[in-house]
Amino acid sequence: MLLLFILIEYLCGSLMFSYWLGIAVKKDLKTIGDGNPGAFNLWHAAGYKMGLLGVLLDFMKGYLPLVLFYESGIINGYKLVPVALAPIFGHVFPAFTKFKGGKAIAVTFGVWSAISRFKVSLTFAILLAIIKILAGSISKRKPISSDADGVMVVYGMLIMGICLKVSGLQGYYMGVWLGNLIIFLYANRRKLYRFWKEM
Ligand SMILES: O=P(O)(O)OC[C@H](O)CO
Protein backbone atom coordinates (compact mmCIF):
# COMPACT_ATOMS: atom_id res chain seq x y z
CA MET A 1 0.00 0.00 0.00
CA LEU A 2 2.84 2.38 0.87
CA LEU A 3 4.29 1.82 -2.61
CA LEU A 4 0.98 2.88 -4.16
CA PHE A 5 1.05 6.20 -2.28
CA ILE A 6 4.68 6.75 -3.28
CA LEU A 7 3.75 6.05 -6.92
CA ILE A 8 0.77 8.43 -6.84
CA GLU A 9 2.94 11.17 -5.33
CA TYR A 10 5.76 10.53 -7.80
CA LEU A 11 3.36 10.79 -10.76
CA CYS A 12 1.86 14.00 -9.35
CA GLY A 13 5.38 15.44 -9.04
CA SER A 14 6.04 14.39 -12.64
CA LEU A 15 3.28 16.71 -13.90
CA MET A 16 5.43 19.50 -15.36
CA PHE A 17 2.79 22.23 -15.31
CA SER A 18 5.07 25.24 -15.92
CA TYR A 19 6.79 23.48 -18.80
CA TRP A 20 3.48 22.47 -20.40
CA LEU A 21 2.02 25.96 -19.95
CA GLY A 22 5.10 27.22 -21.81
CA ILE A 23 4.51 24.72 -24.61
CA ALA A 24 0.84 25.83 -24.77
CA VAL A 25 2.02 29.37 -25.60
CA LYS A 26 4.76 28.07 -27.93
CA LYS A 27 7.69 28.75 -25.58
CA ASP A 28 10.17 26.02 -24.81
CA LEU A 29 11.37 26.84 -21.29
CA LYS A 30 14.43 24.66 -21.79
CA THR A 31 15.73 27.32 -24.18
CA ILE A 32 14.94 30.26 -21.89
CA GLY A 33 17.15 31.70 -19.12
CA ASP A 34 18.94 28.91 -17.30
CA GLY A 35 16.75 26.36 -19.12
CA ASN A 36 14.89 25.30 -15.98
CA PRO A 37 11.33 24.20 -16.80
CA GLY A 38 9.94 26.15 -13.85
CA ALA A 39 7.65 29.08 -13.14
CA PHE A 40 10.41 31.70 -13.09
CA ASN A 41 11.34 31.08 -16.73
CA LEU A 42 7.65 30.78 -17.63
CA TRP A 43 7.10 34.24 -16.09
CA HIS A 44 9.96 35.63 -18.22
CA ALA A 45 8.76 33.91 -21.37
CA ALA A 46 5.00 34.39 -21.11
CA GLY A 47 4.31 37.10 -18.54
CA TYR A 48 3.37 37.28 -14.89
CA LYS A 49 -0.12 35.74 -15.18
CA MET A 50 1.27 32.54 -16.71
CA GLY A 51 4.16 32.63 -14.22
CA LEU A 52 1.79 32.83 -11.27
CA LEU A 53 -0.35 30.03 -12.69
CA GLY A 54 2.80 27.93 -13.08
CA VAL A 55 3.86 28.57 -9.46
CA LEU A 56 0.36 27.75 -8.21
CA LEU A 57 0.08 24.48 -10.12
CA ASP A 58 3.63 23.35 -9.30
CA PHE A 59 2.94 24.18 -5.64
CA MET A 60 -0.41 22.37 -5.66
CA LYS A 61 0.97 19.11 -7.02
CA GLY A 62 3.16 18.99 -3.92
CA TYR A 63 0.46 20.22 -1.56
CA LEU A 64 -2.91 18.74 -2.48
CA PRO A 65 -2.44 14.95 -2.56
CA LEU A 66 -0.06 15.01 0.39
CA VAL A 67 -2.25 17.14 2.65
CA LEU A 68 -5.11 14.68 2.04
CA PHE A 69 -2.94 11.65 2.87
CA TYR A 70 -1.32 13.32 5.90
CA GLU A 71 -4.27 15.07 7.52
CA SER A 72 -6.52 12.02 7.09
CA GLY A 73 -3.90 9.94 8.93
CA ILE A 74 -3.48 7.47 6.05
CA ILE A 75 0.21 8.35 6.00
CA ASN A 76 1.95 9.00 9.29
CA GLY A 77 5.25 8.54 11.12
CA TYR A 78 8.29 7.50 9.09
CA LYS A 79 6.07 6.43 6.16
CA LEU A 80 5.82 10.14 5.52
CA VAL A 81 9.47 10.35 4.45
CA PRO A 82 9.27 8.48 1.09
CA VAL A 83 5.71 9.69 0.38
CA ALA A 84 6.61 13.37 0.94
CA LEU A 85 9.85 13.09 -1.04
CA ALA A 86 8.20 11.36 -4.02
CA PRO A 87 6.67 14.50 -5.63
CA ILE A 88 9.93 16.43 -5.15
CA PHE A 89 11.82 13.54 -6.77
CA GLY A 90 9.13 13.41 -9.48
CA HIS A 91 9.69 17.07 -10.40
CA VAL A 92 13.45 16.50 -10.78
CA PHE A 93 13.04 13.16 -12.64
CA PRO A 94 9.59 13.45 -14.26
CA ALA A 95 8.20 10.33 -15.91
CA PHE A 96 6.23 12.47 -18.39
CA THR A 97 9.15 14.47 -19.81
CA LYS A 98 11.80 11.78 -20.26
CA PHE A 99 13.08 12.20 -16.68
CA LYS A 100 14.42 15.68 -17.44
CA GLY A 101 12.97 17.97 -14.80
CA GLY A 102 13.55 21.10 -12.78
CA LYS A 103 14.93 22.33 -9.47
CA ALA A 104 11.84 21.42 -7.42
CA ILE A 105 11.52 24.69 -5.50
CA ALA A 106 7.78 25.28 -5.98
CA VAL A 107 6.87 21.64 -5.27
CA THR A 108 9.10 21.71 -2.17
CA PHE A 109 7.01 24.60 -0.80
CA GLY A 110 3.87 22.58 -1.49
CA VAL A 111 5.20 19.50 0.31
CA TRP A 112 6.32 21.37 3.44
CA SER A 113 3.07 23.34 3.52
CA ALA A 114 1.13 20.04 3.49
CA ILE A 115 3.06 18.38 6.33
CA SER A 116 3.55 21.40 8.60
CA ARG A 117 0.39 23.43 7.99
CA PHE A 118 2.52 26.06 6.20
CA LYS A 119 4.84 26.67 9.21
CA VAL A 120 8.02 25.15 7.76
CA SER A 121 7.42 26.48 4.24
CA LEU A 122 6.92 29.98 5.68
CA THR A 123 10.19 29.62 7.61
CA PHE A 124 11.93 28.51 4.40
CA ALA A 125 10.50 31.50 2.50
CA ILE A 126 11.74 33.89 5.23
CA LEU A 127 15.18 32.24 5.21
CA LEU A 128 15.43 32.57 1.42
CA ALA A 129 14.38 36.22 1.60
CA ILE A 130 17.05 36.96 4.26
CA ILE A 131 19.73 35.09 2.28
CA LYS A 132 18.74 36.97 -0.89
CA ILE A 133 18.92 40.36 0.86
CA LEU A 134 22.34 39.50 2.36
CA ALA A 135 23.63 38.21 -0.99
CA GLY A 136 22.33 41.36 -2.69
CA SER A 137 24.15 43.65 -0.24
CA ILE A 138 27.38 41.60 -0.48
CA SER A 139 27.32 41.65 -4.30
CA LYS A 140 26.77 45.45 -4.11
CA ARG A 141 23.48 45.46 -5.99
CA LYS A 142 24.85 43.59 -9.00
CA PRO A 143 22.13 41.23 -10.30
CA ILE A 144 22.30 37.85 -8.59
CA SER A 145 23.25 35.18 -11.11
CA SER A 146 21.08 32.13 -11.62
CA ASP A 147 24.02 30.05 -10.32
CA ALA A 148 23.92 32.05 -7.07
CA ASP A 149 20.15 31.46 -6.93
CA GLY A 150 20.71 27.69 -6.87
CA VAL A 151 23.34 28.08 -4.15
CA MET A 152 20.98 30.19 -2.03
CA VAL A 153 18.28 27.51 -2.17
CA VAL A 154 20.78 24.91 -0.92
CA TYR A 155 22.02 27.20 1.88
CA GLY A 156 18.42 27.97 2.82
CA MET A 157 17.64 24.26 3.09
CA LEU A 158 20.78 23.68 5.20
CA ILE A 159 19.79 26.44 7.65
CA MET A 160 16.23 25.12 7.70
CA GLY A 161 17.63 21.81 8.99
CA ILE A 162 19.07 23.64 11.99
CA CYS A 163 15.71 25.35 12.59
CA LEU A 164 13.89 21.98 12.41
CA LYS A 165 16.37 20.40 14.85
CA VAL A 166 16.13 23.29 17.31
CA SER A 167 12.32 23.29 17.20
CA GLY A 168 12.33 19.63 18.30
CA LEU A 169 9.94 18.35 15.61
CA GLN A 170 9.47 14.58 15.21
CA GLY A 171 12.35 12.67 13.63
CA TYR A 172 10.52 11.98 10.38
CA TYR A 173 10.61 15.70 9.56
CA MET A 174 14.41 15.45 9.65
CA GLY A 175 14.13 12.50 7.24
CA VAL A 176 12.10 14.57 4.78
CA TRP A 177 14.54 17.47 5.24
CA LEU A 178 17.61 15.30 4.54
CA GLY A 179 16.04 13.77 1.42
CA ASN A 180 14.98 17.24 0.21
CA LEU A 181 18.51 18.58 0.76
CA ILE A 182 20.06 15.69 -1.21
CA ILE A 183 17.61 16.27 -4.09
CA PHE A 184 18.40 20.03 -4.06
CA LEU A 185 22.14 19.27 -4.06
CA TYR A 186 21.66 17.01 -7.08
CA ALA A 187 19.33 19.39 -8.96
CA ASN A 188 21.74 22.32 -8.43
CA ARG A 189 25.00 20.38 -8.76
CA ARG A 190 26.24 22.24 -11.85
CA LYS A 191 25.36 25.64 -10.40
CA LEU A 192 27.08 24.77 -7.11
CA TYR A 193 30.19 23.58 -8.96
CA ARG A 194 30.41 26.73 -11.10
CA PHE A 195 29.72 29.01 -8.12
CA TRP A 196 32.41 27.48 -5.89
CA LYS A 197 34.90 27.36 -8.78
CA GLU A 198 34.45 31.10 -9.35
CA MET A 199 34.86 31.97 -5.65
O1 LIG B 1 12.17 24.58 -9.02
P2 LIG B 1 11.18 24.70 -10.13
O3 LIG B 1 11.53 23.82 -11.27
O4 LIG B 1 9.80 24.58 -9.63
O5 LIG B 1 11.32 26.16 -10.68
C6 LIG B 1 11.78 27.14 -9.83
C7 LIG B 1 11.18 28.46 -10.17
O8 LIG B 1 11.34 28.71 -11.51
C9 LIG B 1 11.80 29.56 -9.34
O10 LIG B 1 13.18 29.72 -9.60
Q: Where are the domains of the chain?
A: 2-198
CA of 1 to the centre of ligand 1 (A): 31
pLDDT digits (tens, 9 = 90+) for 73-121: 999 999 999 999 999 999 999 999 999 999 999 999 999 999 999 999 9
Checking if the pLDDT of 141 tops 60, the result is no
Please give the number of the atom of ligand 1 that sits closest to the Cα of 107.
4
ipTM of this predicted complex?
0.90
Alpha-carbon torsion angle 16, 22, 28, 30, nearest 10: -40
Helices (H), 97-170: 105-116, 119-138, 146-167
pLDDT digits (tens, 9 = 90+) for 35-66: 999 999 999 999 999 999 999 999 999 999 99
Pocket test of ligand 1: the residue of 15, 16, 18, 154 to mutate, having most ligand atoms within 8 Å of its CB, is: 18
Q: Which residues of 31-59 are buried (b: 16+ CB within 10 A; e: fewer)?
A: ebebebbbbbbbbebbeeebbebbbbbbb
CA of 186 to the centre of ligand 1 (A): 14
Supply the residue whose CA is at minimum distance from atom 10 of ligand 1: 40
Distance from C-alpha of 151 to C-alpha of 98, rounded to nearest angstrom: 26
**Which residues does 25 contact at the CB level (< 8 Å), separation at least 6?**
45, 46, 50
Distance from C-alpha of 184 to C-alpha of 124, rounded to nearest angstrom: 14
Distance from C-alpha of 64 to C-alpha of 153, rounded to nearest angstrom: 23
Q: What is the pTM of this model?
A: 0.93
For residue 149, what pLDDT is reported?
Answer: 78
Checking if the pLDDT of 144 tops 60, the result is no
